[in-house]
Amino acid sequence: RGDIEPVLAMADELQFQDRENKIDLNLIEFWWHQEIGIPAIRVVNNA
């Protein structure tokens, strides 16, 4: 579905990343990475 990347930043830092990388936050799902036990994001690819 999309790339899975661990998120180690706080919410405001993620928003800063969004401005820098121009990521559409509507295409990102927040979820809990069960294996490594930290918050992660799934970038949804609508291609």
Structural domain span for residue 39: 4-43
pLDDT at residue number 47: 46
pLDDT tens for 3-42 read: 545 444 445 555 555 555 555 555 555 555 556 566 666 6
Higher pLDDT, 16 or 1: 16
Higher pLDDT, 1 or 2: 2
CB-CB contact of 46 with 1 (8 Å):
no
CA distances from 7 to 3, 13, 36, 47 (A): 12, 10, 11, 23
| Domain total of the chain | 1
pLDDT at residue number 42: 62
- Helix (H/G/I), strand (E/B), else coil: 14: helix
Predicted TM-score (pTM) of the model is 0.19
